[in-house]
Amino acid sequence: MSDLKVTFVDNASRQYDVSAQQVMIDSSLHGLFLGDRDAASMLQLKHRGITDVVNCQKDQWGLAKEKDVEYLCIDPELDDPFEEAFAWIEDVLEKKKRSVLVHCQTGNGKAAAVVIYYLMKKQGVSLADAHRSVKQARTRIMPRPDLVRLLIEKEQMLRGIGTRPSLRLEGRTIEYQDQDEDEKARHLLINLWCGPRTLSTATMYAFAQRGADCHVVDEPLYASYLAQNPSIYRPYRDELLAAQDSDGDAVMQRLMNVSVGSDEPKIVVAKQIAKQTVGLNIDALIGLEGGDTKGTSRKRKVRHVFLFRDPLDMIICWDKKHDVHHEDCSLEATAFPQMVSFFSKLSQMSRKGLVAPPIAVDSELLKTHPREVLTELCHRLDIPFKEEMLSWPAGPKPHIDGIWAQYWYDSVHRSTGFGEFDSPAATTSLGYPMLSEEQKEVYRETLPFYMLLRRQAIGVDALNPGSCTTSFVSSQLQGGEGAATAATTAATTNAAAAGGGEKLTLDHGIPMRAASLADARNANVLVWVGSRLYPREQAKVSAFDSSVQGGDACWEGLRVYNGRVFMLEEHLSRLFDSAKALAFANLPSRSFVRQAVLKTFAANGMRNDVHARVTLSRGPKITSSMNPSKTHTHT
């Protein structure tokens, strides 16, 4: 059967999102929403039960004045939009007990600033705390510098003239500097969640190089894991069970608690193999925000870092240690299911403001870009980056290593830095280890888990997580051929045309490419491929597809205005006429294609200013060939 693809193409230079996010510091602000202009449509307002709207853009772009919706339009010429908006929002939330949407065109500029100010004044929190709360709900907020400077002035008025500003503006970069002394005094636990053979020990060594402010712990739950799984073979099992506490709950409590007034290192990094938590209630290690002080101890602040590796390399390295573990590689052995489950749970909790967002690190990028990845990692952990983290002395480290080190750490003991780790050593004339059928099957099972995490990783382009390039700008990408950005799908064609002229920006000290999408809606677009919708980063066709092998496909461009597809039937007729002229076999039905198009538009909430491309391919080839007869036929 010929394959169907529906992809979106940028059509306008405007940047806006199609959703609104609820913003809160505590449950009393359950009715405050921040969004873009589309969030103010009657359909969206009714869906969320919103009856009041603060419009922060220049006009009302034709909003219908429905009798059950009240509007406040902020004068675009107004130097200070905050006080008028605060009084209006306060009246809606407190007196009328209704929900309110604050929006501008993108939902990331003036509207975000208005919500930040409301939180500052209403909750009595610092500008930095208010900014964090809004950014946690809507990650792309970026108020204009003049609005940020006005917010800094407002904070001085609210908290007292002479008070140290909690936020600093450098160009367009915002830096937090508001931690009070009590918060600074809180100790930090960093859980480094990982699977086997993921450069986790090297990462542990890097943190150990920070010096007196940091203490590292090597797999504190290992004995608990072996005690619960007596059938698991390890040559050091008895020695480990005798030396390490096998009560997992007690171990977690000790990691979380710190004595008040103690001189313990401010940072503790616990290397945690995720599968070692099976059978334990790891909620104790989550670290809900606002840990209480009780008696002579208090809870540490907790952050979670997820370190993972390309499963193909992991599988090969795991099997090389078969004499140590006596296990065949499996999905469970890689720890990917546990890591993805826990990452997802933490992500959901962070969106509710309960915990800090989890951080994902791909060990391959850590190996090739250690300075950039560690700099950004430390920034997200709110700790300073130290140059010493980039190297360590060779040899065993008895004060750090677990008693299993002699069996597992031979390669890391030979190293002095991240750049000294290679892919698994070649063992065949092809230059790479040959995989067994069992290994290939495990790779198929683990790859989706890996891709879910990789999309979130530092340095990875979330729109194209499978790319061989990163978002770090190396020297060869600053000009010439390397400066051109390859378009990943039709949805980035306008941006890709910019090529080497794209401006480089600094993001937390890391040189990054500027955002390449002309329309921000395309970042989270759903794309129809074959028989269903896929998230953008998963929308792919086979390398054997006829469209890839020889451009053997036909397409039509569609546009949507005011909720209607322009001349849809005529476009479909021309599409099918082209397919028949090319002698495509086993075409999908016209009704199937029509429904695919309409479902795609509906699922993305795109009702206006939309350009989409519908492509019919001859189908996948049996082998690499330009011959149409080599196409795989199926129904």
CATH of 20-178, one of 3.20.170.30, 3.30.460.30, 3.90.190.10, 3.30.450.20: 3.90.190.10
Question: What is residue 525's predicted lDDT score, i.e. its pLDDT?
Answer: 80
In the chain, the amino acid numbered 283 is D
The whole-angstrom distance between residue 322's C-alpha and the CA centroid of its chain comes to: 34
What are the strands of the beta sheet with 52-55, ordered from one edge?
20-22, 32-35, 100-103, 52-55, 70-73
Supply 471's token pair.
């978002």
Query: How confident is the model at residue 602, as a pLDDT?
Result: 81
**CATH class assigned to 183-444:** alpha beta
Mean pLDDT (the chain) is 79
pLDDT at position 430: 41
Query: Which of 3.40.980.10, 3.50.50.60, 3.30.470.10, 1.10.10.10 would CATH assign to domain 3-12+521-630?
Result: 3.30.470.10
d(CA 384, CA 257): 23
Q: Quote the crossing angle between the two packed helices 82-90 and 145-159, to the nearest 10°.
A: 70
pLDDT value of position 288: 62
Angle at 149 between CA 146 and CA 154, to 5 degrees: 125
Main-chain dihedrals φ then ψ at residue 311, nearest 5 degrees: -60, -25
Tokens of 22: 């609820």
Say which residues have a Cβ less than 8 Å from residue 427's Cβ, sequence separation at least 6. Answer: 433, 434
pLDDT tens column, 354-383: 788 899 999 999 998 999 999 999 988 888
Question: Looking at residue 67, what is its pLDDT?
Answer: 66
Residue 377: its pLDDT value, please?
A: 93
CA end-to-end distance (rounded Å), the chain: 5
Task: Return all residues near 151 (Cβ < 8 A) that are at least 6 apart.
Answer: 82, 113, 116, 117, 120, 127, 143, 167
Q: Which two tokens stand for residue 348?
A: 């959901």
Report the pLDDT value the prediction gives residue 488, as an integer from 0 to 100: 24
The residue behind tokens 């190297």 is 391
Residues of the chain with pLDDT under 50: 1, 5-18, 25-28, 61-62, 181-182, 289-296, 425-431, 473-516, 634-635
Main-chain dihedrals φ then ψ at residue 103, nearest 5 degrees: -140, 155
Predicted local confidence at residue 465, as pLDDT:
66
What pLDDT score does 474 carry?
38
C-alpha 516/C-alpha 498 separation (Å) is 9
- Say whether pTM exceeds 0.85: no
Which DSSP symbol is given to 417? Answer: B
DSSP state of 95: I
Same fold, 3-12+521-630 and 20-178: no
Domain ranges of the chain: 3-12+521-630, 20-178, 183-444, 475-514
Q: 3-class DSSP state for residue 385?
A: coil
* Percentage helix, strand, coil for the chain under 3-state DSSP, each rounded to 5: 40, 20, 40
Cβ–Cβ < 8 Å for 451, 434: no
**What pLDDT score does 338 carry?**
95
Query: Do 318 and 204 touch, CB atoms closer than 8 A?
Result: no
